[in-house]
Amino acid sequence: DGGITQSPKYLFRKEGQNVTLSCEQNLNHDAMYWYRQDPGQGLRLIYYSQIVNDFQKGDIAEGYSVSREKKESFPLTVTSAQKNPTAFYLCASSNGRYQPQHFGDGTRLSIL
Amino acid sequence: SQQGEEDPQALSIQEGENATMNCSYKTSINNLQWYRQNSGRGLVHLILIRSNEREKHSGRLRVTLDTSKKSSSLLITASRAADTASYFCATDTGANSKLTFGKGITLSVRP
């Protein structure tokens, strides 16, 4: 079955540590996205990529980094510069402009 | 920035009743989309309505769009307990492939 796989489901970060969240899709979609969701809030865009080897900052990119070396993969690194990383992180993909987005089941990141 | 604003923030209804949720937005759009999110899960796309469309149906879902009022509504008919979830509207301005999401509506359907 085609879909988006995020791993791990739960992740804990120590102070000063970088952590990487995985996102893999087998939908053959060009565009991929990372969102952050805080309790009772909507989704805020962190980074997005419309094509391999290219990505753009979203609304809240500070403290995060991404790469897009393969069409299927769009990992997100939460760096130590992100002072409030506790949130639910969602990855999505779409088949281009004016198309709906397909979401993974998220990674919940907490601070130890 | 969050363009879509849903109303109400929370809705509680009895199974079998209809649920109406509203979304308002600020700038011109190419299309508006509705998504559902079950607790602790990712979002699931429900329906997309383009700016030149006024109404769209999908099963028990009916979406309307009024571009003059910059608003949309999602109607779920004959609700079921399984419809309990958060519902989000998202706007696509067409400038790029980004969507802007509202804060969501929490729908509780009592058995």
Range in A62-71, A95-104, B20-29, B52-61 the model is least confident about: A95-104
pLDDT: which is higher, B6 or B65: B65
Name residue A14's amino acid.
K
d(CA A41, CA A49): 23
pLDDT of residue A39 exceeding 70, the answer is: yes
Contact A31 B41 (CB under 8 A): no
Average pLDDT score, chain B: 93
Question: N- to C-terminal Cα distance for chain B?
Answer: 37
pLDDT at A1: 62
pLDDT at B3: 65
pLDDT at B25: 95
Across residues B92-97, what is the average pLDDT?
Answer: 79
Q: Closest chain B residue to A4 measured between Cα atoms?
A: B42
d(CA B5, CA B26): 9
Across residues A105-109, what is the average pLDDT?
Answer: 97
Cis peptide before A75 (omega within 30 of 0): no
Across residues A75-90, what is the average pLDDT?
Answer: 94
Across residues B4-29, what is the average pLDDT?
Answer: 93
Neighbours of B40 (CB within 10 A): 10
Pick from B45, B94, B98: CB nearest A45: B98
Contact B97 A59 (CB under 8 A): no
pLDDT of residue B49 exceeding 80, the answer is: yes
Query: Is residue B62 very low, low, confident or very high in pLDDT (cuts 50, 70, 90)?
Result: very high
d(CA B67, CA B86): 24
pLDDT at A98: 85
Chain A: nearest CA to B4, how far in angstroms? 10
pLDDT of residue B2 exceeding 60, the answer is: no
pLDDT of residue B89 exceeding 80, the answer is: yes
Contact A43 B31 (CB under 8 A): no
Q: Which residues contact B92 (CB under 8 A, 6 or more apart)?
A: A97, A98, B29, B30, B31, B32, B33, B98, B99
d(CA A6, CA A33): 12
Phi, psi of B48, deg, nearest 5: -120, 130
Average pLDDT score, chain A: 94
Q: In percent, how much of chain B has pLDDT > 90?
A: 87
pLDDT of residue B57 exceeding 80, the answer is: yes
pLDDT of residue B1 exceeding 70, the answer is: no
Strands B61-66 and B55-58: antiparallel
pLDDT at B5: 83
d(CA B12, CA B32): 24
pLDDT tens, residue by residue, B64-88: 999 999 999 999 999 999 999 999 9
Contact B98 A102 (CB under 8 A): no
